[in-house]
Chains A and B, each alone.
Chain A
Amino acid sequence: AQTVTQSQPEMSVQEAETVTLSCTYDTSESDYYLFWYKQPPSRQMILVIRQEAYKQQNATENRFSVNFQKAAKSFSLKISDSQLGDAAMYFCAYRSGNPKAGGKLTFGQGTILTVHP
């Protein structure tokens, strides 16, 4: 079974600075997808960024980028120019690329990000 580990229960950053959230995962599969979700106090789960395992290039979405190290099974999220609205719980998630596995996600425990003005 796949597991996802987020070793940082809490992180903080100053507004306009950069912060990196860590995520490691364990799988024997070669085809899979990795995600970062943001959960603000409203509880809404918002997709931040997605990475396909077969792509070597790291995904980027505006101020959000990932450092995907497939051999090390590491998938960190970098938030540049942090904004107050970035404050939330962040979850790393894994999805198998095997069609028989369906589309279920395996989540990490989450990292609470605080942004200081």
Chain B
Amino acid sequence: NAGVMQNPRHLVRRRGQEARLRCSPMKGHSHVYWYRQLPEEGLKFMVYLQKENIIDESGMPKERFSAEFPKEGPSILRIQQVVRGDSAAYFCASSPWGGSTEAFFGQGTRLTVV
């Protein structure tokens, strides 16, 4: 049973480009969470999605960031017009249902903006 798969593991973008981060949850999981980890800091919640629905986006920056979790395919975190401050590790976690007390994490995508 494959775990949570994130790709790419490393992503380099120039300032102003778009970054697309993908997350395939564990089989049978329909709830996805995205977190951002800035250097030397803990993980910060960004957004919580179910299939085709954004449930909680209270941690998402108001501009340039968006997330989706379509009926088919992986969840996507999109960052438009990236800036240096977006450089971070982005983690995805999935759970089988919203009340589950355990979330399984992917290995993260390290985004570097040059």
Could you tell me which A residues sit within 8 Å of B by CB distance?
Answer: 4, 6, 33, 37, 42-47, 50, 52, 91, 95, 99, 102-110
Contacts and interface: CB of A to CB of B under 8 A. Distances in A.
B79 to A, nearest CB: 19
Interface size class of B (residues with CB under 8 A): 20 to 34
A54 B56 CA distance: 26
Contact of A105 (B45, B98, B100, B108): B45
Contact of B101 (A45, A50, A104): A50
Interface of B: 31, 33, 35, 41-45, 48, 55-56, 59, 89, 91, 93, 95, 98-103, 105, 107-108, 110
Given A102-B56, A108-B42, 7 more contacts: A43-B110, A44-B107, A44-B108, A103-B48, A103-B99, A107-B35, A107-B44
A105 B92 CA distance: 12
B24 to A, nearest CB: 16
A106 B48 CA distance: 13
Given A104-B45, A105-B43, A43 B108 contact: yes
Contact of A103 (B89, B98, B107, B108): B98
